[in-house]
Amino acid sequence: MDWDRLRIFHIVADAGSFSHASEEINTSQSAISRQISNLEYEVGIPLFHRHPRGLILTEQGELLYKRTRNIVDIIKDAEFELIDSKERPSGDLSVTTTVGLGTNWLTPRLRDFTSRFPEINLELRLTDAELDVGMREADIAIRFHKPQQLDLIQRKLFTVHFHLYASPDYLDEFGTPSKASDLKNHKIVTYGRAPDYLKEINWLEKITKEYKIKPILKIGNIKGLHMAVSNSIGIAMLPDYLIGQDDSLIRISFNEKLPEIDTYLTYAEERRNSKRIAVFREFIVEKGKEWSF
């Protein structure tokens, strides 16, 4: 079986369409479609159901995907190690974290890294969905919880603290709550449908249920919550790092324990000897020591 066709097959299966696969590997859709057609001809069976909205693996396609996933990962690891064998760290390095942390904390600190290691092609994949580093969806992840997988290396970076925030205009109009029960008389903005790993920080969602408060707005994105508070829509729970030195918002102090979560850098055990990962790990640990939020 042709390796390049198999590689393209996995990329298309993960992407769900020729167009998304084309964007990922910077190859024309026609070239990708031709590779898939040639592979299907080679194995003698269709591997995808074609639909107007994309591609779905056939039963035989699912079988091929599962049986060859490990082979693809082994070859990717070999390619990764060969590039890392050079004296200077170079090549592609993908890092995933949440939109909020990646936009507001990580990105502003990357100038030092890109200056030190210009040969590394760094890509940030910012999403509140968790990409699987064990399945090579990214090389490194910065996560708001301790990974449970035994085949992942992890390093605690810092603790993220959360507080209630509101704008001065909002508090001038509605007053400042001093305890949780006071929130019954306020406009509450919650995270809404938080991913499982963020359930712990959705304190306001629990409070609204406890005191039978109807949130005025639900937003499934930290940046959206920040904008809602900044525009005086209501009170929301925000991570302190998002506020930083922003003195346009006011922290509301409660005599209650509010959420805090430990943040971890994690990557696959098979990548433990990677120079690219090593230099990024050292860089992030160094920056993490400056954490003051």
Span between the terminal Cα atoms of the chain, in Å: 53
The pLDDT of residue 277: 94
Output the pTM of the full model. 0.73
Q: How far is the C-alpha of 182 from the C-alpha of 171, rounded, in Å?
A: 13
SS3 of residue 127 by DSSP: coil
pLDDT (0 to 100) of residue 256? 83
pLDDT of residue 46: 93
Q: What share of the chain is helix, strand, coil (3-state, %, to 5)?
A: 50, 20, 30
Nearest to 61 by CA among 73, 35, 43, 34: 43
Statement to judge: residues 262 and 281 lie in one domain? yes
Give the domain extent around 120: 89-293
Can you list the residues of the chain whose pLDDT is less than 70? 85-86, 245-246
pLDDT at position 74: 83
- Residues 80, 100, single domain; the answer is no
Backbone phi, then psi, for 194, in 5-degree steps?
A: -75, 145
pLDDT score for 167: 96
Number of domains in the chain: 2
Domain end point (choices 59, 84, 109): 84
Q: Which of 23, 58, 84 is where one domain is finished?
A: 84
Are residues 43 and 166 located together in one domain of the fold?
Answer: no
pLDDT at residue number 246: 66
55 CB-contact burial (10 Å; exposed 0-12 / middle 13-18 / buried 19+): buried
Q: What is the pLDDT of residue 139?
A: 95
Question: Which domain CATH number covers 23?
Answer: 1.10.10.10
Q: Output the pLDDT for position 128.
A: 87
> In 3-state terms, what secondary structure has residue 208?
helix
Question: In the prediction, which pLDDT does 245 show?
Answer: 63
Same domain as 135, residue 71: no
Task: Identify any residues that bridge with 268 across adjacent strands, giving them in sequence order.
Answer: 152
